[in-house]
Amino acid sequence: MWSTVLPALRKLALARWLSPLVLLLLWEAGSRAGLIPEQTLAAPSDVFWTLTEMTRSGELPKNLLVSLGRAALGLALGVSAGTILGLLAGLSRRGEALIDPVMQIKRTIPVLALTPLFIVWFGIGETPKVTLIAFATFSPVYLNLYSGIRGADVRLIDAARSFGLGRAELVWHVILPAALPSLLVGLRYSLSIAILVLVVAEQINASSGLGHLINDARDFMRTDVIVVCLIVYALLGLGADYLVRLIEGRALAWRPSIMET
């Protein structure tokens, strides 16, 4: 069976790269023929050489580290807040009554609409950028952790109680492991949202970072630099998703895989 399945999978994988490759070739041909002006969109080859030069000069790595620092700090604050609030609301009826209504209200507010208010509160330095990322990323963690805790299998809980486990042991050995897959789903969403909000946050008077490069490139009509930064943002999103997948593979090694059945 595998002798026929594997070649089919390889062909499918190659086919998935066909349309992006054709799009790149058409883009390059249109640019070289003058159908796509450089001021509108730089050619892929120009984008590649710009990426090479920016990497070689250190301009891209230096600003990338600044953006990563903002995203990491905001994500750490958001994930920590979401985890704490999710635990309090999920493990306690009183906590649920106090926290969940506020969280549901917060969930309906567009985060990016708060940008002007954050500028009024925190100025135009690093604080509004990090705070905006943190505010955007704690809701997915809270919602998924809360749902995971409340969705723990009642039969497992009853079985654990029959073995004499106390409340703390029940939470640690049964409820939290059952909620871990949901927590990791929330973390994956938060990582994606952190990258998306980073793009907007770095438009707030940034003097360094990828957003700073984009603002400068916009002023000088450097579409090649803008595309390079967009590619880096996309790679950050893919890298973040891959990181969570690695964590899931290790943390959920006990869970049977669908592919193995």
**Residue of 188, 167, 192, 198 lying closest to 251 (CA atoms):** 188
Please, what is the average pLDDT of the chain?
82
pLDDT at 78: 93
Q: What is the mean pLDDT of residues 242-260?
A: 68
- Cα 202 to Cα 84, 128, 188, 214, 243, distances in angstroms: 28, 10, 21, 9, 23
Domain 43-252, CATH among 1.10.645.10, 1.10.3470.10, 1.10.3720.10, 1.10.40.30: 1.10.3720.10
What lies within 8 Å, CB to CB, of 175 at 6+ separation is 91, 149, 152, 157
| Single-letter residue type at 30 | G
What lies within 8 Å, CB to CB, of 255 at 6+ separation is 181
pLDDT at 8: 55
The percentage of the chain sitting over the pLDDT mark of 70, rounded to a whole number, equals 90
**Nearest 5°: CA angle at 123, between 121 and 127?**
90
DSSP string, 76-125: HHHHHHHHHHHHHHHH-HHHHHHHHHHHHHHHTS-GGGGHHHHHHHHTTS
pLDDT at 173: 75
pTM of the model: 0.78
Higher pLDDT among residues 253 and 110, named by residue: 110
**Residue of 216, 219, 200 lying closest to 208 (CA atoms):** 216
**pLDDT per residue as tens digits for the range 154-205:** 777 777 777 777 777 777 777 888 888 888 888 888 988 888 888 888 877 7
Range of weakest confidence among 21-25, 89-93, 220-224: 21-25
Q: Is the pLDDT of residue 258 over 50?
A: no
